[in-house]
Amino acid sequence: MSAADFAFVFAGSGPVEWQLTAAVLVGTLVGGGAGFLGVWAITRHTRRVARENAAELIVVAKREAAVVAQELKQRAEEEIAGKRADMNREYDRREIEIDVKLREIRSHEESLALLDYQLEQRHERLERENLAIKQARDAMRSLSKSLRKRLEGVASMDADDIKRQLREEVQLECQDELRAMRRSELERSEQEVQNEARRIMISAMQRLSSQPNNDITATIVHLPSEEMKGRIIGREGRNIKAFEAATGVTLLIDESPQMVLISSFDPVRREVARAALEGLVKDGRIHPASIEEFVKRAHDETELLTTKAGEEAVTRLNINGLHPELIKTLGKLKYRFSYTQNALDHSVEVGFLASMIASELGLDPNIAKRAGLLHDIGKAIDGEYEGSHAIIGAEVVKRYGETPIVVNAIAAHHEEVKPETIYAGLTILADTISAVRPGARAENMANYIQRLDRLEKLAFSLPGVQQAYAIQAGREIRVVVKPEVVTDDKARELAKALRVKIEEELQYPSTIKITVIREQRFTEVAT
């Protein structure tokens, strides 16, 4: 029952006092309940606030405890790292000290080993000296005995006999020394000359840079169409006959597509024919009259190009006072080749090489340069002269006022004429260097094999030769001699004799190294 129901019962059951009392009692109960509820609510709120504050304090305490624990952990780790670094430094220091001690120990061991080796060497030297002293003592004793006997024999000889015997003994004693001295002097002088010559040639070749070779290709004229071949031949072949008569070449027209081959032994004519035919093909009008016109035009253009080539060669070498006809003739070498080597480039190269070698030797480089440039000019002369190109070239340059030194150098560069000056030798040397450098000239396989066979036969022609082998592409020959026939001194003389025979009887590029081998072998088989 609630307080309201209780008050209602009291009000309905008695007088007014009871009603008042009941009302007071009800009011008291209501006030007490409300106070209890208020107190209970306040207490509950207080407990909740206290509980929340306690939870916050616990969280704060945990955070502070975690921070303190982290600081302690970091401090502990730092202390551990410091201790570890100190221990590592101490360990490294100990290792360095141990390494230094080991090096000192090894150094002492090496020093002891060196001292031990030196002591052994000194002991061996002392033993050799003792043995030499003993041998000298024995030799002195034997010499004393022989001297005593000789004095006894001299006492019974006259003065002439004594002089003659002394002369013979001195000759016998000094013969070996004189032979050894002569051999050493010859070797030293030959080595010095070879070293100086090698230095000069290497210096000249290093200063000159040129193309290795120029390939010769067939003179081919390309046509725009196959129909052009018929126009070149013409009706009944009159065009091709007129062209060949005007140029002096042979036109080869075959089944090769869109091309014509020009054949002639004269490279200048072949060049004129090429230029004329290209002009005719480009113009399109091909008949005997136009052929003569274009051939004449091509001939004039070729002469201009030839003169220009000669002037360029003279300008490159900076040569003055050369006759214009010689310059024009020199330019014709542009169209000539020797073993795939362009004759004009070869002449310019020889001029440079001769000039450089002359400068190294203290000679006039201009004379050497002039002789080197003109040495092959005979190859560009037409057939009205007789003889080799060296002789022809010498006659031509002599006619145009060249000096006797240059004339002799040109005539003698193939040793057909005796060289009269050192400039002729320089021209020969420069011509050889330019011709034999790697890649300068091509050589026929048959000629190459024949030259190697000839080289071996020259070696077999000498007495005492057992075997001979040409190696290094013919640049070296090794000769094995019979040791019972050829002595060491004769082997040296045999090498020189073979060198002379090769130089006199064999044509070869560059140099040929000669190695003479003399050996004896004794073999026994124990059973």
- 318 backbone φψ class: left, alpha, beta (φ>0; ψ -120 to 50): left
d(CA 343, CA 331): 10
In this predicted structure, what is the pLDDT of residue 80? 92
- Asked if residues 304 and 268 have their Cβ atoms less than 8 Å apart, the reply is no
d(CA 407, CA 401): 10
- Terminal Cα distance for the chain, rounded: 146
d(CA 107, CA 350): 63
d(CA 418, CA 410): 11
Paired tokens of 401? 């006022």
Facing residues of 250 across strands?
A: 263
- Asked if residues 196 and 317 have their Cβ atoms less than 8 Å apart, the reply is no
d(CA 213, CA 340): 7
pLDDT tens digits, the chain, 527 residues: what are they? Answer: 444 454 444 444 455 556 666 666 767 777 777 778 888 888 888 888 888 888 888 988 888 888 988 989 999 999 999 899 989 999 988 999 998 999 889 888 888 888 888 888 888 888 888 888 888 888 888 877 777 777 666 666 666 777 777 777 767 667 766 666 766 666 666 666 666 666 665 555 545 545 444 445 457 777 888 788 888 888 888 888 888 888 888 888 877 777 888 887 777 788 888 888 888 888 878 888 888 888 888 888 888 888 888 888 888 888 888 888 888 888 888 888 776 678 888 888 888 888 888 888 888 889 888 988 888 888 888 756 667 788 888 888 888 888 899 889 888 888 888 888 888 888 888 888 777 665 555 555 666 678 888 888 888 988 889 889 888 777 889 999 988 888 888 888 888 999 888 888 887 766 788 999 988 777 777 77
SS3 category, 234: coil
Facing residues of 259 across strands?
A: 222
- Asked if residues 359 and 385 have their Cβ atoms less than 8 Å apart, the reply is no
- Asked if residues 392 and 385 have their Cβ atoms less than 8 Å apart, the reply is yes
DSSP 10: H
